[in-house]
Amino acid sequence: MRTSIIIVIIFLLAAISAVFFIADKKDTEVMIINITLARPPDDDEAKIISQVDAAESYVKRMEVPEDTTVFTPGITVLILQDQKEKSGWNSVAVPQSGSIYGKYSIIVRLSDAIDKSKPVRVLARVISPSGTEISVKMTDVMVS
């Protein structure tokens, strides 16, 4: 009797482990937003977002951010299509001291399907350590 209970418990633990293993292997569609911050020629801090690109990608379910804290200082993005939000706000931190110039990637989980035949609008914002907007840029991109 006791041996059969132990066998059932081992079987249940193996089954639960298998479910988590299979769930982790499943790929989830995301958008990777690449943002480049560069010193503008006229030193206008409001223009430091020099390039925004978006690409469709697939990552393991465990790598998909659920809720992203809005980092300050940081870069935040929101995906829109047909004037509707297709994602929540997603964010990545930038250095608090020294240069913030460089390339940053943000993984964005879409909350709603997008029409790949139409461009998406990426709203990118650079936020200062005090929480104020330094730079804002809206860019329409075709998702590849």
Q: Domain ranges in the chain? A: 26-141
pLDDT > 70? residue 113: yes
pLDDT > 90? residue 60: no
What does the pLDDT read at residue 97? 86
pLDDT > 90? residue 144: no
In this prediction, residues 71-86 reach a mean pLDDT of 92
- pLDDT, tens only, 9-38: 787 877 777 666 665 556 788 899 999 999
Q: Which residues of 69-101 are buried (b: 16+ CB within 10 A; e: fewer)?
A: eeebbbbbbbbbbeeeebbbbbbbebeeeeebe
The CA R_g of the chain, rounded to the nearest whole Å, is: 21
Here the tokens at position 82 are: 């047909």
What does the pLDDT read at residue 32? 92
The pTM for the full model equals 0.76
The CATH number of the structural domain formed by 26-141 is 2.60.40
